């Protein structure tokens, strides 16, 4: 695995921002940071005294040395001190994208030094960024001040944020993260925006949390972009990298201290493990969603705090596609079962759900119905299991008011925090391993992430799903997850009775 990330940026003699912050933030996320220095700034906690641009020859010699031996998976670009530097870096990036066996992902954090905006106010600088660099950039991460300088859009509200982000996309960037640390909208909150045309067209995300009150925030921009770069190098999707970067900054701001007379640097800490440091995923129907003028989908009716499950540990969880299999599992003592049927007509479904609910009652077990929440309500099921894409067109209030439990699927940090908005009855993490039961391309989490998800969501019953077989079940259980959900490990076993008892033993 190539965990090399380069930072092409300026040195901050005060140690709080630039190259110095980048390497520390990258280190916190377990990637190796290499550097090509573009400027030697003379600064301390009171301000910037000088910016000494490094010559393009010296920058090039650093890039050539790295290219020969330590190619990067992700390149983070920070301060570029003049048009010549922008042109040089653009030429090199263009060569890497064309010639390297694996083209690097480019994260560009435009730096308008201090609050004066010096480096981004020259017209030729902005044109060089637009014309040469932006078409090569995968993710640009300006703060609101830098966004205004680059786009000319005055950021008075959410519509203006979107307009500016779309301008940056139209100039070639594949994704835009606008850091809201300097934006006080709504008052007392820090709201960040991301639009991603990188993997999927026009996916957008808003994150928010109450502003952390500290003057010691030097280096937050560089650190946030470096964490995004590090996470992308570790194959996190951008929406998860965005979440983790914000959580890391929140964690660092809470313990930041001063080292000189002036503003101290954001503290460089470690992978965020405290839920209180994570931002909120802002959604339609929430208070912050209303403040940001989100449209509420027609069939959606927000609800949170669903009925709890009897126990925090749901044990072996059989996911089956027929009433016949449901009964076989119940007969073997499986206490959590899900009816997951696809492609049946309405009349058949009604009957299947009615039978599944009756069997659950007969065996005193928790039967969840996948997808068909109206039928689950109609027949008084124990609970409903829904995916993230179901959330927009489900009347959650109806499920809650009927007293049904709600289980939610999550695939990564972003979806986990989104699900947390609804305080469901349990959270499922998947797909832990590759599976042939369902196309989970790009959504395989692995055990390392499961080890992070479980303690963050410790107030919920938790479930792991995807590619879990008898050999893997005990490893999965060691993460502390309260339940292991399987399809093929039971349905394709040579002897399902023996498989169920072996899985139960492995989990316990
Ligand atoms: C326990 C559990 N976890 C995740 C899923 C996946 O549900 P969903 O996202 O609704 O996808 P489909 O199962 O409908 O394809 C699940 N069913 N059970
Ligand atoms: C139905 C399902 N949902 C998943 C998710 O990650 O949301 S993975 C999955 C398939 C699980 O099947 P098996 O145990 O055969 O791998
Ligand atoms: Mg479903």
pLDDT over threshold 80, residue 225: yes
To the question of pTM greater than 0.90 for the whole model, the response is yes
pLDDT over threshold 60, residue 147: yes
CA of 322 to the centre of ligand 3 (A): 15
Residue 142: pLDDT band (50, 70, 90) is: very high
Q: Is 15 annotated as a binding residue?
A: no
Query: At what angle are helices 323-331 and 346-362 packed, to 10 degrees?
Result: 10
Residue 198: pLDDT band (50, 70, 90) is: confident
Single out the residue of 69, 62, 65 nearest to residue 11, CA to CA: 62
pLDDT over threshold 70, residue 113: no
How many residues are listed for the chain in this entry?
Answer: 508
Q: Who's near 38: CB < 8 A, 6+ residues apart?
A: 8, 9, 10, 53, 54, 59, 78, 79, 80, 81, 85, 89
From the CA of 468, which ligand is nearest? 2
Mutate to test the pocket of ligand 1, among 320, 339, 340 (most ligand atoms within 8 A of CB): 340
pLDDT in tens, 162-171: 999 999 999 9
Residue closest via CA to ligand 1's atom 12 equals 387
Q: What percent of the chain has pLDDT over 90?
A: 89
The mean per-residue pLDDT over the stretch 11-34 comes to 97
The mean per-residue pLDDT over the stretch 316-343 comes to 97
CA of 147 to the centre of ligand 3 (A): 39
Ligand 2 pocket residue status of 438, Cβ below 6 Å: yes
Confidence at residue 128, expressed as pLDDT on a 0 to 100 scale: 94
CA of 384 to the centre of ligand 3 (A): 9
Q: Are 479 and 447 in contact (CB under 8 A)?
A: yes
Residue 202: pLDDT band (50, 70, 90) is: confident
pLDDT in tens, 36-69: 999 999 999 999 999 999 999 999 999 999 999 9
Atom of ligand 2 nearest to the CA of 492: 15
Distance, in Å, from the CA atom of 497 to the CA atom of 505, rounded to the nearest integer, reads 13
Ligand 1 pocket residue status of 411, Cβ below 6 Å: no
Residue closest via CA to ligand 1's atom 2 equals 428
From the CA of 444, which ligand is nearest? 2
Atom of ligand 1 nearest to the CA of 426: 1
Ligand 2 pocket residue status of 318, Cβ below 6 Å: no
Ligand 1 pocket residue status of 430, Cβ below 6 Å: yes
Q: Is 450 annotated as a binding residue?
A: no
ipTM greater than 0.90, yes or no?
yes
Domains 4-291 and 315-507 share a fold: no
Residue closest via CA to ligand 1's atom 11 equals 387
Residue closest via CA to ligand 1's atom 10 equals 387
pLDDT over threshold 70, residue 231: yes
For the domain made up of 315-507, the CATH class stated in words is alpha beta
- The matching CATH number, chosen from 3.20.20.100, 3.40.1190.20, 1.10.340.30, 3.30.750.24, for 4-291 is 3.40.1190.20
Ligand 1 pocket residue status of 468, Cβ below 6 Å: no
Ligand 1 pocket residue status of 484, Cβ below 6 Å: no
Confidence at residue 115, expressed as pLDDT on a 0 to 100 scale: 45
pLDDT over threshold 80, residue 179: yes
- Mean of the per-residue pLDDT values for the chain? 95
The mean per-residue pLDDT over the stretch 122-142 comes to 93
Q: Of 178-182, 396-400, 423-427, where does mean pLDDT reach its minimum?
A: 178-182
The CA-atom distances, in angstroms, between 363 and each of 92, 327, 377, 381 are 66, 9, 20, 13
Single out the residue of 180, 184, 216, 173 nearest to residue 21, CA to CA: 216
pLDDT over threshold 50, residue 157: yes
pLDDT over threshold 80, residue 118: no
In the chain, where the domains are located: 4-291, 315-507
Find tokens 């709600």 and name the residue.
Answer: 406
Query: 405 forms bridges with which residues in the sheet?
Result: 383
Residue closest via CA to ligand 1's atom 8 equals 387
Mutate to test the pocket of ligand 2, among 319, 432, 476 (most ligand atoms within 8 A of CB): 319
Confidence at residue 103, expressed as pLDDT on a 0 to 100 scale: 98
pLDDT over threshold 50, residue 479: yes
Ligand 2 pocket residue status of 431, Cβ below 6 Å: yes
Q: Is 342 annotated as a binding residue?
A: yes
Confidence at residue 1, expressed as pLDDT on a 0 to 100 scale: 65
Residue 392: pLDDT band (50, 70, 90) is: confident
CA of 406 to the centre of ligand 3 (A): 12
């Amino acid at each position: 695995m190539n965990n090399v990330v380069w930072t092409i940026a300026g040195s901050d003699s005060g140690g709080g921002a630039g190259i110095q912050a980048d390497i520390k933030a990258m280190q916190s996320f377990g990637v190796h940071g290499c550097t090509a220095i573009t400027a030697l700034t003379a600064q301390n906690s009171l301000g910037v005294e000088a910016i000494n641009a490094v010559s393009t020859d010296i920058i090039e010699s650093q890039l050539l040395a790295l290219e020969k031996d330590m190619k990067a998976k992700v390149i983070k670009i920070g301060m570029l001190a003049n048009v010549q530097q922008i042109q040089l870096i653009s030429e090199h990036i263009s060569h890497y994208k064309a010639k390297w066996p694996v083209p690097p992902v480019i994260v560009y954090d435009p730096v308008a030094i201090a609050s004066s905006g010096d480096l981004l106010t020259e017209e030729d600088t902005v044109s060089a960024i637009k014309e040469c660099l932006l078409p090569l950039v995968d993710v640009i991460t300006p703060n609101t001040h830098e966004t205004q300088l680059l786009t000319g859009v005055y950021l008075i509200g959410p519509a203006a944020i979107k307009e500016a982000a779309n301008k940056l996309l139209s100039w070639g960037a594949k994704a835009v993260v606008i850091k809201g640390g300097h934006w006080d909208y709504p008052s007392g909150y820090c709201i960040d925006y991301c639009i991603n045309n990188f993997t999927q067209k026009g996916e957008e995300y808003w994150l928010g949390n109450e502003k952390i009150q500290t003057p010691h925030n030097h280096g937050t921009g560089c650190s946030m972009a470096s964490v995004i770069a590090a996470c992308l190098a570790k194959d996190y999707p951008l929406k998860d990298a965005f979440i983790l970067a914000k959580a890391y900054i929140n964690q660092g701001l809470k313990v930041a201290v001063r080292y000189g007379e002036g503003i101290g640097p954001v503290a460089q800490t470690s992978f965020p493990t405290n839920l209180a440091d994570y931002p909120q995923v802002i959604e339609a129907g929430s208070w912050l969603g209303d403040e940001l003028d989100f449209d509420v989908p027609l069939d959606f009716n927000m609800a949170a705090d669903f009925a709890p499950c009897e126990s925090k540990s749901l044990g072996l969880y059989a996911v089956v596609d027929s009433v016949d299999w449901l009964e076989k599992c119940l007969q073997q003592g499986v206490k959590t079962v899900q009816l997951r049927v696809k492609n049946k007509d309405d009349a058949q479904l009604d009957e299947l759900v009615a039978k599944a609910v009756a069997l659950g009652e007969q065996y005193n077990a928790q039967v969840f119905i996948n997808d068909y929440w109206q039928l689950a309500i109609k027949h008084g099921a124990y609970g409903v299991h829904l995916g993230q894409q179901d959330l927009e067109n489900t009347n959650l209030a109806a499920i809650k008011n009927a007293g049904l439990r709600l289980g939610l699927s999550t695939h990564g940090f972003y979806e986990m925090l989104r699900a947390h908005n609804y305080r469901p009855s349990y959270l499922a993490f998947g797909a832990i391993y590759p599976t042939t039961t369902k196309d989970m391309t790009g959504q395989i989490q692995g055990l390392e992430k499961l080890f992070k998800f479980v303690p963050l969501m410790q107030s919920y019953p938790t479930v792991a799903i995807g590619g879990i077989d008898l050999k893997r079940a005990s490893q999965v259980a060691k993460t502390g997850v309260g339940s292991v959900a399987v399809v093929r490990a039971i349905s394709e076993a040579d002897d399902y009775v023996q498989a169920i008892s072996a899985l139960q033993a492995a989990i316990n």
